[in-house]
Structure 1
Amino acid sequence: MIVKKRIKPLKLFKFEALFRRLDLDHPKRQIASETYAKSLAGYRGERSLDFPLSFLPEQKYHVLHDLRLYDGSHYFQIDCLLLSSNLIIIIEVKNITGTLIFDSTFNQLIRINDNKDERAFSSPIIQVNRHVEQLQKWLKLQKFPAMPIEPLVIIGNDKSVIKSTEKGKSQTLSQFVLPYYVLPDKIKELEVRHTTYLLTKESQHTLSKQLQIQHHPLKFNILQHFQISESDLIKGIQCTNCKFYSMHRTFGTWACDRCMTTSKKAHMQALRDYYLLIGTTINNRQMNDFLQICSPHITKHLLNSLCSITIGTNKGRKYVLSFAFE
């Protein structure tokens, strides 16, 4: 059963907010777009696990997606963890198109695309094996018994060709690296190798719960990461129809000066963008500036109706923003 769902990473929402608020010709937009494309491909690759994992016995496995744990020295990210009473399987997903050559001599993954261009990536086998060591360290730190941990690298694109640089090594490679659609068969193979019950059902639930409690989401300040100034962002309220930042408040609603579209909640997207790009708290002055609202009374009314939690008093009051992202 899925005990920690895979949700769209907050990082992707931050990129999308940035693209709404950054000029097309901004010098940092290109590199941000390239980084976003890689992150989106990774997320889509992880989603390729959904179908093969649906074949697992629901009561036997606890499935935890997107875990970030601390082993006492370093944080480490696991794309997917499968926990049973017999073993733990950790999965690293790669969604890379083309011919994928695993070079065990230099510990690289080499991708050759349709244009015959070559590009090297760090070895996902090295990465997932390191995660095994870190997870073993984490289990000991949390005072759980040692468990057999099996690492897998799943290729999320069924059109990718998987190869090895060493002759006769492809059989060894296939023990770790496989296309997503053969995952159920691989798990059955691992079950045959690990038949000793090490956890009771109660202990399995306890470990599963602790993994969720100890998850530390990565904090990602997108403006700081790309060295983009807040002053570079486009301010105002974006029209829900024509997408220009041309809405103003009139008679309790928002109206677009260009296409005359009206909306009661157009300011919500602007506040979500502020939350994603700048911070989780906002005061009247900041809202007036970011949403380009001329009336402090309108700002105060909107914030009081939206935010139930405040910090400070009088002129030092800040409103705590809260949004759900799925």
Structure 2
Amino acid sequence: MIIKKRTKPIKLYKFEALFRRLDLEHPKRQIASEIYAKGLAGYRGERSLDFPLSFLPEQKYHIFHDLRLYDGSHYFQIDCLLLSSNLIIIIEVKNITGTLIFDSTFNQLIRINDNKDERAFSSPIIQVHRHVEQLQKWLAFHKFPSIPIEPLVIIGNNKSVIKSAEKERSKTLSQFVLPYYVLPDKIKELEVKHTTYLLTKEAQHNLSVQLQLQHHPLKFNILQHFLISESDLIKGIQCTNCKFFSMHRTFGTWACARCMSTSKDAHIQALHDYYLLIGNTINNRQMNDFLHINSPHITKHLLNALCSTTIGTNKGRKYVLNFDFE
């Protein structure tokens, strides 16, 4: 049973909004593109779990995707958590292509690509074992009974080759690291290992509720992160056809001065961008400036139609933007 479903991270939507509104030659665009590519690959890797997890008995496991908890000292992010009455399985997903060599001596993951280039990553095995300790601390703090926690590192790309730097440790490595398509068999193996029922249905339910309540989504201000000024953003309404910021309001619709395409709701994408890049409240002046609208009357009409909640009155009124990107 999926308790917390996987959704596309809001962070990725923020990157996509930034790319729409940042000049191609902007000095921060390249590094932002590289970080976005890593995040997108990670999200796609996590989606590789969907098929193998579909083989699990629906009522036996409570499944949580992208769970971010606080252990009293640090936040920690779990890609996937499986909760049953017998045990907890936490999964760290890596979607890295090439030959992956796990080096336990230096605690590194070394990737060799098709061009024979080597790159070192921090060890996901160390990371997932740290998450075990943090989750144990979290369970104790919230006064839940001790329950076995099994860590797994799942490789989400079926073309990746998994190796150990030390041949004699290959068997040990295979206990923690495996390709995504053998996950159901591994879970069955862990079920044989842990046969004692430690949580009643009520306790499992209560733990599931608490995990949901204690989830802390990551707050990410993308402009602050890359030290990008709002003045660097391209303003206006982007044409849904030619993608130029060349739409203007005429007779109750948006028309593109470049390709002559029209749209009734092109302003909504612009407000999505404002929400993702700047904030969830906007006043009449800010909307006029960001969307390049010259009529306060049109701005007020559009905001009243879109926003049901406001803060303040008269000239101090702000409209609360509320968009669901899941």
The bucket for the TM-score relative to the shorter chain is: over 0.9
The CA deviation at 1:167 is: 2.1
Instruction: Map Cα deviations across residues 141-197 of structure 1 (whole Å, 9 max, x no partner).
Output: 111101100000000001101111112100000000000000000000000010000
2:276 maps to 276
Question: CA separation in 1, counterparts of 2:192 and 2:135?
Answer: 22
Question: CA separation in 1, counterparts of 2:116 and 2:138?
Answer: 42
1:163 maps to 163
The CA deviation at 1:258 is: 1.0
The CA deviation at 1:89 is: 0.1
Question: CA separation in 2, counterparts of 1:140 and 1:263?
Answer: 55
Instruction: Map Cα deviations across residues 16-37 of structure 1 (whole Å, 9 max, x no partner).
Output: 1011001111111110100000
Root-mean-square deviation (CA, aligned residues, Å) is 0.6
| Mapping 1:112-191, distance limit 5 Å | 112-191=112-191
2:2 maps to 2
The CA deviation at 1:261 is: 1.0
1:312 maps to 312
Question: CA separation in 1, counterparts of 2:75 and 2:277?
Answer: 24
The CA deviation at 1:209 is: 1.1
Greater mean deviation of Cα atoms: 85-94 or 253-262:
253-262
Amino acid corresponding to residue 70 of structure 1 in structure 2: Y
Q: Does 1:87 align with 2:87?
A: yes
Q: Does 1:50 align with 2:54?
A: no
2:19 maps to 19
2:30 maps to 30
The CA deviation at 1:291 is: 0.1
List gaps (5 residues or longer) in structure 1: none
1:322 maps to 322
| Mapping 1:73-112, distance limit 5 Å | 73-112=73-112
Amino acid corresponding to residue 43 of structure 1 in structure 2: Y
Question: CA separation in 2, counterparts of 1:305 and 1:65?
Answer: 35
1:259 maps to 259
2:229 maps to 229
With normalisation by structure 2, the TM-score equals 0.99
List gaps (5 residues or longer) in structure 2: none
Question: CA separation in 1, counterparts of 2:252 and 2:167?
Answer: 72
Identity %: 88
Amino acid corresponding to residue 214 of structure 2 in structure 1: Q
The CA deviation at 1:313 is: 1.4
Question: CA separation in 2, counterparts of 1:75 and 1:239?
Answer: 41
Amino acid corresponding to residue 65 of structure 1 in structure 2: H
Structure 1 residue ranges, 4+ long, deviating more than 4 angstroms after superposition: none
